[in-house]
Amino acid sequence: MWILQRTLLHQTRLLRFFTSSTAAALIQDPDPLTTLTYLEGFPRPDPKYAETILAIPRASSGKNISAKERKVGRVPSIVFEQEDGQHGGNKRLISVRTNQIRKLVTHLGRSFFLSRLFDLEVRSEFGDSGDLIEKVRVLPRKLHLHAGTDAVLNVTFIRAPSTALLKVEVPLVFRGEDVSPGLKKGAYLNTIKRTAKYLCPADIIPPYIDVDLSELDVGQKLVMGDLKVHPALKLIQSKDEPVCKIMGSRVSEQRKK
């Protein structure tokens, strides 16, 4: 009897192990034959801002090199792998055109620029005459701006093939303020979070996430778990973390008057 119980316990543990391992494999190594697409009703990238970022290789790094690059209208940058959302590799030093990055950041906004995929062409020199070294789809990971002037100082890109899973801080867009019961009563919106962190398959990175305020009354709130996203996205922060709340102090103040 004791041996039978030990055997059953061992089999149960093995079943749990392989079940969890299989689930992890599905998340970390998606089937390359399965194509994920944006679903109807969820935000998708605006083709208006589809653009190929042009780059040239950079032999070395350092403060002096970076200063020289910026002086001639280029932004020192890096492109590397980060397929599991955490670990980098296959690093290439590059420089991109300052005016192109500035234009994209200005048109999209900083947080939206960092959640948008771009094609990247690395050539031996700028222009079609330069030899093509690498053409790859990338996600901007980090954007370093000058604190006083907002000049672009550095950009880091991650290669984003279809098999990649990438950590992305997706911008939140609040909608429904005009019909929210609480806001119509004179309360105000307390915005707690402007972005949400997800592990995203590269093919369906959302440009933003809609936050629906249309049914919120005074005192009610939305948390991360309330956000509606593609089912293949995995939230990597607490689902109970608050996003926003309808605060009613202004209503109270009006009543006192």
Alpha carbons 41 and 56: distance in angstroms, whole number: 39
Full domain range(s) for residue 118: 47-161
Beta strand spans in the chain (E)? 52-57, 74-81, 89-97, 118-123, 132-145, 152-159, 165-175, 188-191, 195-201, 209-212, 221-223, 234-235, 242-247
Distance CA 131, CA 169 (A): 34
The reported pLDDT for the residue numbered 19 is: 34
Number of domains making up the chain: 2
For residue 211, tell me if it sits in a domain. Answer: yes
Residue 188 and residue 218 share a domain: yes
- Is residue 14 a part of any domain in this protein? no
- Of 161, 179, 202, the position where a domain reaches its end is 161
- Domain end, chosen from 161, 196, 211, is at 161
Per-residue pLDDT of the chain (257 residues), as tens digits, is 444 444 444 444 433 433 333 233 333 444 543 578 999 999 999 998 899 999 999 988 888 889 999 999 999 999 988 655 455 677 899 999 999 999 999 999 999 999 999 999 999 999 878 899 999 999 999 999 999 898 999 999 999 999 889 999 999 999 999 999 999 999 999 999 999 999 999 999 999 999 999 999 999 999 999 999 999 999 999 999 999 999 986 444 444 44
